[in-house]
């Protein structure tokens, strides 16, 4: 629930509410006093003297350049990056979304029906496909970074959030170097750093493999789909962090029909393909995964608010 506040950032933004807080920053609802437009501001936490070379600062600014370079209905828009004139801390100016993230929905209602879970996965895959086509690997796909944005009339659009730890593999060919916000050519994440959410990490992320690519996001989205169907990710029972990392890197993801027997063999086969330990055996990117999901959705991937209910543990497509 948003917390009402009053205040300003600089001369241009009137704050109205705190929408969320995380390890790196706080997200506010605000009004752009120049245009009257309602926006979201993601402000970096300031810890004393702000070093522009601080990895958090670099990662935060990278998120703006990445998200600003990607055109997709299924990626949260970043309009600009500015700095607080008082603290010099950067903040992102983003589209203001109404709704909740997927993790909040799962916490509230439990497992989803197969049809709804596939619709959410398909929309998320569309956003990731746009990122992959631009040479961007998200690296932290999980329910908390998939936002179920409510539109007018009850429609739900899935938006991929938080490209803050994403890795750039190449500069998009259709973006000029001076055209607004563009993606940097170099990665801000060092090989060997464990960045991401462990329960949803790919084996190659855990192992610190070089050349992390789109297939890592495919694996993480498959784990997210498993969590939507089973109500929790596949290795949620592991309590030891080292044991969790070992399990992810050496043990195949459990068959979904063992946890959710109402899931069809076709969906189980899709999950098995997407979550192979050997990335060479997975779908090559999110577009490939989307191509496999769409035949399982004869009515399409559109979502409405009334569909976002728990399945009660026995619902198929």
Annotated binding site: 42
3-class DSSP state of 136: strand
141 closest CA partner among 214, 246, 66, 243: 214
Taking the CA atoms of residue 164, residue 165, residue 170 and residue 171 in that order, the dihedral angle to the nearest 10 degrees is 10
Find the farthest-apart pair of alpha carbons in the chain and give their distance in angstroms, rounded.
58
Strand partners, 91: 43, 82
Catalytic-residue membership of 162:
no
* Residues 66, 168 contacting (CB under 8 angstroms): yes
Q: CA 45, CA 48: separation in Å to the nearest integer?
A: 10
Q: Which residues are annotated as a binding site for ATP?
A: 42
Which segments of 133-201 are extended strands (E)?
136-137, 146-150, 155-160, 167-168
Name the catalytic one among 140, 162, 213, 217: 140
Task: Please state at what angle helix 214-230 crosses helix 265-274, rounded to 10 degrees.
Answer: 140
**Would you give the distance in Å from CA 234 to the centre of its chain?**
18
Q: CA 220, CA 200: separation in Å to the nearest integer?
A: 5
Q: CA 292, CA 290: separation in Å to the nearest integer?
A: 5
3-class DSSP state of 145: helix
For the annotated catalytic residues, the residue numbers are: 140
């Amino acid at each position: 629930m948003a917390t009402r506040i009053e205040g300003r950032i600089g001369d241009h933004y009137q704050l109205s509410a705190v929408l969320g807080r995380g390890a790196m920053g706080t997200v506010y609802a605000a009004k752009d006093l120049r245009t009257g437009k309602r926006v979201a501001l993601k402000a970096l936490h300031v810890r004393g003297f702000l070093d522009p070379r601080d990895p958090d600062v670099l990662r935060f600014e990278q998120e703006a350049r990445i998200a600003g370079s990607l055109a997709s209905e299924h990626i949260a828009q970043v309009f600009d990056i500015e700095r607080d004139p008082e603290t010099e801390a950067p903040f992102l100016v983003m589209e203001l979304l109404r709704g909740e993230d997927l993790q909040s929905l799962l916490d509230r209602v439990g497992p989803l029906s197969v049809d709804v879970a596939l619709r959410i996965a398909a929309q998320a895959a569309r956003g990731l496909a746009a990122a992959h086509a631009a040479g961007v690997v998200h690296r932290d796909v999980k329910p908390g970074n998939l936002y179920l944005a409510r539109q007018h009339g009850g429609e739900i659009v899935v938006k991929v959030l938080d490209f803050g730890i994403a890795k750039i593999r190449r500069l998009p060919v259709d973006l000029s170097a001076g055209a607004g916000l563009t993606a940097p050519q170099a990665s801000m994440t060092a090989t060997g750093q464990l960045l991401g959410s462990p329960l949803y990490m790919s084996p190659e992320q855990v192992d610190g493999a070089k050349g992390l690519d789109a297939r890592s996001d495919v694996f993480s989205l498959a784990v997210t789909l498993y969590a939507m169907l089973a109500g929790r990710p596949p290795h949620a029972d592991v309590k030891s962090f080292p044991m969790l990392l070992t399990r992810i890197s050496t043990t195949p993801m459990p068959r979904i029909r063992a946890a959710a027997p109402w899931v069809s063999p076709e969906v189980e086969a899709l999950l098995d393909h997407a979550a192979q330990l050997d990335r060479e055996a997975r779908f090559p990117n999110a577009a490939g995964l989307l191509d496999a999901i769409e035949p399982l959705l004869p009515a399409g991937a559109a979502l409405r608010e009334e569909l976002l209910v728990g399945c009660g543990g026995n619902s198929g497509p």
